[in-house]
Amino acid sequence: MKFTHFLAVWLCLSLAAPLAAQRLSLDECLRLAQQNSLLVRRANLDVEASQVALKQARLDRLPTLNAFASQALNAGRNINPTTNQFVEQQVTSNNYQLSSGLILFNGLAQTSAIRQADLLRQAARQGAEGARYAVALLVIQNYLLTLTSEEQLDVARRQVEVSRAQVERTRKQVDAGTLAEGSLFELEAQQAADELAVVDARNALDLAKLALIQAMNLPEGTAVADFSVEKLPLPDPTQARDEANARDVYTQALQRFPDLKAADLQVRSDAFGVRVARAARYPTLSLNANLSTIYSSLGLQRFVADGTVVAQPSDNYVLVGGVQQPVYSSAPGGTFVNYGYGEQLRNNLNRSVSLNLQIPILNGFRARYRIAAAVVQQKTSQTEADNVRLLLRQQIETAATNLRAAADRYTATTSQVRSLERAFTAIESRLNAGTLQTVEYLVAKTALDRARANLVQARYEYALRSQVLNLYRTGL
C-alpha cells in the first residue's frame, strides 16, 4: 500500500513538472484518476462520517456521567441553603453535583441503531467503490478514445504520403507531356484535403488527450503534448459471440456491482430504522445515581471547648432560709466557629440511587408517525434498489448488444478495406499507365481512406465495449 501511494505521488509530481513526454499505461492513468478524483474523495469522506456515526451509536450504550457546579451570591431576605432558614444578610454558596444514568431497556432501540449505523457504514464503503467504478469507466473511455485518435492520425498521415507520392509521379508525367496538367491539379487538391484531414485528426487527438487529463484531474498547466499513452493489447472481435452473453454478465455483476450492494445495504439499514422508530412505543427502564453536596457562608457552626467551666444561671431556684436562691449550672467554656469549606462539603454530602420506569401513553402520536415515516423510507430504498438492479441489467444488455454490433461492424469493415485496397491498387496502376481518369482514382482513394478510418473506429469501439463488460463481470 505504501509503495502504491508513493508511486502515485511520484507520478502526480512528475506530471505536474510537466510530464516531459511520458508514456502512461492504463493502470497508471487509473491510479492517478483514483487519487485525484473529487468524487472518490467525497465518497471516502462519507465512509469516514459513517464510521464516526457507528462509533457514536456503540458509545451510546455506555452510562452517562455528568458533573455540575455553581456559585451563587444572594443578598437581602433569602434562604440559607444549608439550614433552610430565612436570613437577612448576604449569603455565598456553592453547589456540586455528579450524576450518572444507564438505560437498561428501551425497546432495543440502541441495538437496532447500532445495526443500522453498521449497515450504513457498509453502504458508504460500497458507494465509495461505486465512485471508483465511475471514475475508472470514464478513464477507460477517454484512454481508448485517445488511442483511436492516435491511430486515425497515423492513417491520415499515411494517406498524405500516398497523395504526395502520387502528385510527384503525376508531375513527372505532366512534365514529360504524357498526362494533362488538369490531372495534376486534381491530385494536388486531394493532397491538400488529406493534409487538412491530418490537422483535423491532430485536433481530435488533442481533444481526446484533454478529456483524459480532465478525467484524471491532473494539475493545472498539464499540456496535451506532455504525455502519450501506451498501446493496449486489443481483444479479438471474432470472440464477441462468447463474450457478449448478457445474462451471464448480469449474474456475475449481481455478486460484485458496488452500487447494487450499496442500495441493498441501504434497504437493510432502513429496516432497522423502522425498529428504532417502533422502540418508542415501549417503556424505558433506566438506572440513575446522584452525588451532591453544598457549601454556604452561613452554614451550621460547631462548638470548640477551651478547657474552662462557665457557671450559667437557670430558671430554677431553691429556698434557703426562706430566701429564693438561683440554681447555677456548669458548662464547658469555649466558642462557636464555622465549619471549614471541606468540612461542609463532607457533612452535606448526599447520595441517591433510583430505578426509573417511563411508560409512553400519549405523546401527540409522534411515535406512530415516526414509524410511518420510517416504513416509507424503507419502501423508497427498496424501490431505489430495484431501479439500480433494472438499470444495471439494461446497461449490460446494451453493452452486450453494442459489443456484438461492433464485432459485426469490424468484420464487415475489414472485408470492405481488403476489397477497396485491391481495387485501389488496380486503379492506381491504370492511373500510372495513363489509362484512367483522375476523378476515378480520387473516388477510389476517398472510399479507401474512409473505410480505413471506419476500421480503426470499429476496432476500438469493440475494445471499449469489451472493457465495459469486463468491468461489470470481474470488477476493478
pLDDT digits (tens, 9 = 90+) for 190-248: 888 888 988 998 999 999 989 999 899 888 777 777 778 888 787 777 665 555 678 88
* Average pLDDT over every residue of 162-187: 76
Tell me, what's the pLDDT at 334?
Answer: 66
- What separation, in Å, do the N-terminal and C-terminal C-alpha atoms of the chain show? 16
Q: What is the pLDDT of residues 15-27, one digit of tens each?
A: 444 444 578 888 8
Q: What is the pLDDT of residue 11?
A: 43
Q: Sketch out the chain's domains with CATH numbers.
A: 69-105+283-296+339-359 (2.20.200), 301-338 (no CATH)
Distance CA 81, CA 175 (A): 125
Is 8 a residue whose pLDDT tops 50?
no
Q: How many residues does the chain have?
A: 476
Neighbours of 65 (CB within 10 A): 11
The confidence band for 14, taking pLDDT boundaries of 50, 70 and 90, is: very low
State residue 17's pLDDT score.
40
Cell of 352: 441517591
CA distances from 376 to 124, 281, 291 (A): 21, 18, 45
- Read off the DSSP letter of residue 236: P
Residue 318 near residue 324, CB atoms below 8 Å = yes
- pLDDT for the residue numbered 152: 85
Q: How much of the chain is helix, strand and coil, in % rounded to 5?
A: 65, 20, 15
Q: Please tell me the predicted confidence (pLDDT) of residue 175.
A: 78
65 DSSP β-pair partners: 100
Please indicate whether residue 51 or residue 438 has the higher confidence score (pLDDT). 51
Instruction: Identify the pLDDT of residue 9.
Output: 39
**What is the DSSP track for 109-163?**
HHHHHHHHHHHHHHHHHHHHHHHHHHHHHHHHHHHHHHHHHHHHHHHHHHHHHHH
Among 41-50, 144-153, 291-300, which is the least confidently predicted range? 291-300
- Secondary structure of residue 371 in the 3-state scheme: helix
Q: What pLDDT score does 179 carry?
A: 66
Predicted pLDDT of residue 155: 83
Arithmetic mean of pLDDT, 315-329: 73
Share of the chain above pLDDT 90, in %: 33
29-63: pLDDT as tens digits: 999 999 999 999 999 999 999 999 999 999 999 99
pLDDT in tens, 78-126: 777 777 778 777 888 899 999 999 999 999 999 999 999 999 999 999 9
Give, in order, the Cα–Cα distances in Å from 219 to each of 200, 208, 213, 448, 465.
27, 17, 9, 41, 30
Q: What is the pLDDT of residue 244?
A: 62
Q: How far apart are CA 209 and CA 197, in angstroms?
A: 18
> CA–CA separation, 445 vs 426, rounded Å?
12
User: Do the Cβ atoms of 471 and 395 come closer than 8 Å?
Assistant: no
The answer to which of 95-104, 171-180, 185-194, 383-392 has the lowest mean pLDDT is 171-180
* 328 has a pLDDT exceeding 80: no
Q: Would the pTM of this model clear 0.85, i.e. be above it?
A: no
Quote the DSSP letter at residue 106.
S
- The pLDDT value recorded for residue 61 is 93
Looking up cell 479507401 gives: 448
Q: How far apart are CA 220 and CA 208, in angstroms?
A: 17
Q: Which of 4, 49, 46, 48 is nearest to 28 (CA)?
A: 4
Return the pLDDT at 450.
82
Q: What is the DSSP string of 321-369?
A: TTEEEEEEEEEEEEEEEEPPHHHHHHHT-EEEEEEEEE----STTHHHH
DSSP 234: P
Task: Give, for 430, the enclosing helix (H) or strand (E).
Answer: helix 366-433
Q: In this predicted structure, what is the pLDDT of residue 20?
A: 44
User: Does residue 326 have a cis bond before it (omega within 30 degrees)?
Assistant: no
Q: State CA 389 to chain mean position distance.
A: 21
Rounded CA-CA distance 12/19 in Å is 9
| Residue 307 pLDDT class (50, 70, 90 cuts) | low
pLDDT of residue 236: 73
DSSP per-residue codes, 263-311: HHHHHHHHHHHHHHHHGGGS-EEEEEEEEEEEEETT--EEEEEEEEEEE
DSSP 15-28: HTS--TTEEE-HHH
Q: Residue 364: phi, psi to the nearest 5?
A: 65, 20
Q: What pLDDT score does 100 carry? A: 96
Q: For residue 302, how many other CB atoms are within 10 A of its CB?
A: 13
Instruction: Calculate the average pLDDT of the chain.
Output: 83
